[in-house]
Structure 1
Amino acid sequence: MHYNWGIVGSGWIAHEMADALIQEGIGIYGVASGHFSSAKKFSEEFSIKHVYENYQMMFEDNNVDIVYIATPHNSHYEIMKEALLHNKHVFCEKAITLNSCELEECVKIAKERNLIISDGVTLFHMPIFKEIQKRVLSNEFGPVKMIQVNFGSFKEYNVNNRFFNPNLAGGALLDIGVYAVSFARYFMKTKPDVVLTTMIPFETGVDETSGILLQNKDMEIATISLTMRAKQPKRGLIACENAYIEIYNFPRGDKAVITYTSDGHTEEVCCGESRLALNYEIRDMEEYVTNLSGEQNLEYIRDVMDVLTKVQESWESNE
């Protein structure tokens, strides 16, 4: 069973999602954007029949089942809340909100109305992650001891770019950090209850470079390194007692390399395709809506946002 998807936003990620919806044989029911001219152009590009003058008109259309939010993340909360209040399931790009308070308010509305919330952290939906997590949780490699995540994205110096704009919730944490924290949480048995961090700001005040240390009650530790002004490999590592697992380009990873402690031999595991990252998101979202499921996915999203919020609060208290 497929559902009618409405897209809010018309930027590059909205284009990628539109392509994926078409590939999945679903298509796009309608589109709305901050500017009607942008929505109109988007509709012509993807042969979308319904173009709304504003978000509200989309939400009032009873034929729309799922709203996909692809606007800058400082606007996610208001749009998602309004969509939920109009009884729409919501798939929202990352970071899903700016803090836990915003997210929890939306979760409360969704639960009251039996609606689904999910987000665009691709790794939660990639087949390689599901396969490796299954093997880690089965204790095949022994207990998890340490998780390390690196993500460095070099953004050109431009104080006007949204990545460095505090009014648009710029900074590394809510842009690339959400992937890194999601990787760590996905392979930790339980939510981290210790969050330590340090940060170097860009001249506009947003976080440019940071380090995050997490620990949970199971004595698992994760270290995270983020920067927006220097390139780092997108590398995630899960170090277990009997092996360590590396996943490169992890946000849309499709391959893992396992190195066994006993003799150093390696195993390569390939699963899924990077190019289908958004397709996997669509398939999972439709399954969640059909079965009113996805509780584990939402638990990860909430735990990640809680960590991100604690990190931001720590920085603010040190200013």
Structure 2
Amino acid sequence: MRSRIRWGIIATGNIAGQFARDLALLPDHEVVAVGSRSLDRAKAFADEHGIRHAFGSYAQVLEHPDVDVVYVATPHSDHYATSRQALEAGKAVLCEKAFTVTAAQARELVELARDRKVFLMEAMWMRCNPLHLRLRDLVRAGVIGEPRAVQASLGFVAAYRPEDRLFSPALAGGALLDVGVYPVSLAYHLLGAPGRVKAAGTLAPTGVDGSVSIALSYDSGAIASLSGSLTSALPNNATVSGTEGWIELPRSFHDTNRLLIHRPGRDVEEHTVELIGVGYAHEAAEVARCLREGVLESPLVSWNDSVTVMEVLDEVRRQVGVHYPDHDTVSTEPFPST
């Protein structure tokens, strides 16, 4: 692997633009190609971000010899297919969250990456945020005693347009895969895999979930109360509570650089970190570290992490009653799968 990490970006939406701006802050990273289904959009994106090669197809990015790793920023419905094509082309992959539409797709990508010996990682950038790494370390160190509960919400009011990616079943829209994945991933990060999942939600007119409420319970006795919404302005904060205090992540918990430790009889303790850009740079730096060390998966967002979170999301969709026309392979068996 060269000292300079050379990226290809697949798709040109808002999140791809944010990622490209953060990559520009890393001196050892370079975006060498961008692909879109519209050549005009690809050229406009390339002009904005100083990218040498713009293509009117994803395949041309995957075929480009200078691309070391691709960032897949397509709608959810295309994550599996494009990531699979990239792995088959021998390109390392950083795929946006939610990793895939179903857990079955996630397992297939993992097996393909393992067989082809190609790096693969879900772009759950929250898990690479140095503040969230500190949170994990504080909880493991027992600063709040034994962790017993996680509360987290993430939601906003989205303008309803049936054809928009947020509300289109064909694009695997809905609150769960767009914003609900963050609270679920946070709970997994701190408490591990749940033993039981209970979910309720409201459906948009298109049939995708407009809002979801999720209760997770654990064999340890811990619980998690999580919510995501495209129809409500939620607090967007998070709390992990233990037997000796609690840690608060203020709004917005998934990209914050600040946490507060509350313990009875003691002053509130504040921790802050410096973020590079808006925070996407940290996941790119983790990808670079893995590529240079020759490892196939990151311990910060492991394959098992991504698959297990997708299993929880599958179960939530099953209970809420969300079905996608081209991805209706959610297990009919209750969680956990065997």
TM range (shorter): over 0.9
User: How far is the alpha carbon of 1:109 from its aligned partner?
Assistant: 0.7
Contact 2:25 2:276 in 1 (8 A): no
Whether 1:33 aligns to 2:36 is yes
2:101 alignment partner AA: L
193, 204, 224: which one aligns with 1:202: 204
User: How far is the alpha carbon of 1:55 from its aligned partner?
Assistant: 1.5
Question: Which structure carries more helix by proportion?
Answer: 1
Contact 1:197 1:212 in 2 (8 A): yes
1:4 alignment partner AA: R
The aligned residue for residue 242 of structure 1 is 244
The aligned residue for residue 336 of structure 2 is none
1:227 alignment partner AA: S
User: How far is the alpha carbon of 1:203 from its aligned partner?
Assistant: 1.7
User: How far is the alpha carbon of 1:264 from its aligned partner?
Assistant: 5.4
52, 58, 72: which one aligns with 2:75: 72
123, 131, 147: which one aligns with 2:150: 147
The aligned residue for residue 256 of structure 2 is 253
The aligned residue for residue 177 of structure 2 is 174
Residues 87-111 of structure 1: per-residue CA shift (max 9 Å, x gap): 1111111112101011110000111
Whether 1:97 aligns to 2:100 is yes
Q: Given the two structures, how large is their TM-score scaled by the length of structure 2? A: 0.89
Secondary structure of 1:218's aligned partner: coil
Cα distance in 2 for residues equivalent to 1:212 and 1:251: 17
Cα distance in 2 for residues equivalent to 1:98 and 1:81: 13
Contact 1:8 1:55 in 2 (8 A): yes
289, 292, 298: which one aligns with 1:290: 292
Q: Given the two structures, how large is their TM-score scaled by the length of structure 1? A: 0.94
Whether 1:8 aligns to 2:13 is no
User: How far is the alpha carbon of 1:57 from its aligned partner?
Assistant: 2.0
The aligned residue for residue 277 of structure 1 is 279
The aligned residue for residue 268 of structure 1 is 270
263, 282, 307: which one aligns with 2:312: 307
Cα distance in 2 for residues equivalent to 1:159 and 1:71: 18
The aligned residue for residue 20 of structure 1 is 22
User: How far is the alpha carbon of 1:310 from its aligned partner?
Assistant: 1.4
Contact 1:253 1:274 in 2 (8 A): no
The runs of 5 or more residues in structure 1 that have no matched partner are none
User: How far is the alpha carbon of 1:285 from its aligned partner?
Assistant: 1.1
RMSD over aligned CA atoms reads 1.6
Contact 1:252 1:274 in 2 (8 A): no
Q: Identity across aligned pairs (percent)?
A: 28
Cα distance in 1 for residues equivalent to 2:37 and 2:237: 35
Contact 2:95 2:121 in 1 (8 A): yes
Q: For residues 276 and 2 of structure 1, do their structure 2 counterparts lie closer, same or farther at Cα, with a shift above 3 Å needed?
A: farther
